[in-house]
Amino acid sequence: MSKTRILSGIRSSGRLHIGNYLGAVKGMLALQEDSAYETYYMVADLHALTTPYDKEKFAEETRSVIKDYLAAGLDPEKSVLFVQSQVPEHVELAYYFSTVTTLAKMTHLPTYKEKVKQLPDHVTMALVNYPVLMAADILAYKAGLVPVGIDQEPHLEAAREIARRMNADFGTDFPEPKRFATKGEYVPSLSGEGKMSKSVEGSYILLTDGLDEIRAKLAKAPTDERVSNLFKLVELFKHERMEYYAAGQKRGDIRYSELKEELSLAIYEELKPMQEKRNKLTDEYIDEVIKKGAERARKVAVETVREVKEKMGILV
Ligand code: AQP
């Protein structure tokens, strides 16, 4: 039996935070280690172009995500690690998919509406097209499972609809991709409002943060009982202490300074080995990984595009 393919990616819009790690990278790691799967993990640089970016730093941001992947344990011998823009078939496939996708559908997605609110001056065609390109990212590899956070669920639903439409209209054999969920599928912002997010200052802890930075960030996190952000982090990083702190909160004598210090140490303990590994990675090695990854990914994507063109009646 052939292996189920996996696809996931993270935008190169800044360094990765513990939300990206727990919601996406941990799932990517788990599937990489399971021989039932063939794993494809990309840096979504084209998706990063949908929000304002700095062209002087952009190439470096892309390398930086690959570094974070490698530091976290993704292995180019086990997974195909590549950069989205280096497999142009994703864009070509997205165009074909856009012919079976309505504008109404795309502009009703909650993720789209949120970005319109956040960045009203950047409502571009690329932004509207984001879920269509994401469907192409996944379906170029006919991936059945996608390890991403819960915020990506509406995009996966859009990908499933596109797969169904293509199969019904043209007889393709796309699977309907499902989300692979992790325990950390939703990591709240440190501020307690919404999710931890790269683009919201004060909301995140980066994978590259040192112990003092983590302490300083947690020091600012609100301890209001209605905000469950700190408890969520304890659950994810210091599970064995949940009961202790929950009891303290109930009695009203919980010491948040103790909780924050324990949490800082636990988070840092998990990040430290990654940081040590990251510091040893050279740019030459990163570029080699990226080059090989693009070659391997393209082999599959070219084949899917050829199939789709044939089925759609396009001259090949
Ligand atoms: N807070 C989160 N909790 C769990 N998972 C999360 N992810 C993001 N935030 C959380 C998951 O990480 C991957 C990031 O993909 P992305 O960079 O393409 O998505 P994003 O929405 O751009 O994430 P960021 O890091 O928060 O950046 P901005 O601020 O630019 O929006 C996805 O699998 C996502 O589910």
- For ligand 1, whether the C-beta of 172 sits within 6 Å is no
What's the sign of the alpha-carbon dihedral 80, 19, 180, 86?
negative
CA of 24 from ligand 1 middle (Å) equals 8
Give the separation between CA 13 and CA 20, rounded to whole angstroms. Answer: 12
CA of 1 from ligand 1 middle (Å) equals 33
266 vs 18, 46, 112, 263, 275, CA distance in Å? 12, 34, 35, 5, 15
Question: Is residue 245 exposed (0-12), middle (13-18) or buried (19+ Cβ within 10 Å)?
Answer: buried
Asked, for residue 199, whether it belongs to a domain, the answer is no
- Please tell me whether residues 241 and 271 are part of one structural domain: yes
Q: Which residue has the tokens 């595009």?
A: 305
User: Which ligand 1 atom is the nearest neighbour of the CA of 16?
Assistant: 25
- For ligand 1, whether the C-beta of 196 sits within 6 Å is yes
CA of 241 from ligand 1 middle (Å) equals 27
- For ligand 1, whether the C-beta of 195 sits within 6 Å is yes
- Please tell me whether residues 269 and 135 are part of one structural domain: no
Q: Given this model, what pLDDT does residue 8 score?
A: 98
Asked, for residue 195, whether it belongs to a domain, the answer is no
- Please tell me whether residues 293 and 155 are part of one structural domain: yes
Q: Both tokens of residue 174?
A: 């796309």
* Substitution candidate for ligand 1 out of 6, 8, 10 with most atoms within 8 A of CB: 10
Phi-psi label, residue 104: left if phi above 0, alpha if psi -120 to 50, beta otherwise: alpha
Q: Both tokens of residue 84?
A: 């989205």
Asked, for residue 127, whether it belongs to a domain, the answer is yes
Q: Given this model, what pLDDT does residue 1 score?
A: 60
Task: Decide if 76 contacts 24 (C-beta within 8 A).
Answer: no
- For ligand 1, whether the C-beta of 42 sits within 6 Å is no
- Please tell me whether residues 16 and 150 are part of one structural domain: yes
Q: Which residues form the domain of 217?
A: 211-278
CA nearest ligand 1 atom 21, residue: 197
Question: pTM of the full predicted structure?
Answer: 0.95
CA nearest ligand 1 atom 7, residue: 20
- Please tell me whether residues 235 and 301 are part of one structural domain: no
Asked, for residue 203, whether it belongs to a domain, the answer is no
Q: Given this model, what pLDDT does residue 272 score?
A: 98
- Please tell me whether residues 16 and 124 are part of one structural domain: yes
Q: Given this model, what pLDDT does residue 192 score?
A: 85
Q: Both tokens of residue 44?
A: 């979504």
- For ligand 1, whether the C-beta of 11 sits within 6 Å is yes
Q: Both tokens of residue 303?
A: 């084949």
DSSP tag of 227: -
- Please tell me whether residues 45 and 140 are part of one structural domain: yes
Q: Given this model, what pLDDT does residue 154 score?
A: 96
Give the separation between CA 42 and CA 80, rounded to whole angstroms. Answer: 8
DSSP tag of 188: B
Q: Over the stretch 121-133, which tens digit does the pLDDT of each residue have?
A: 999 999 999 999 9
- Please tell me whether residues 171 and 120 are part of one structural domain: yes
- For ligand 1, whether the C-beta of 229 sits within 6 Å is no
Task: Decide if 227 contacts 42 (C-beta within 8 A).
Answer: no
The 3-state secondary structure of 33-71 reads CCCCEEEEEEEEHHHHCCCCCCCCCHHHHHHHHHHHHHH
Q: Over the stretch 135-157, which tens digit does the pLDDT of each residue have?
A: 999 999 999 999 999 999 999 99
CA of 19 from ligand 1 middle (Å) equals 7
Q: Give per-10-residue mean pLDDT for the chain (316 aa).
A: 92 94 97 98 98 96 97 98 98 98 97 94 97 98 97 97 98 98 94 88 95 96 81 94 92 93 98 97 97 98 98 97
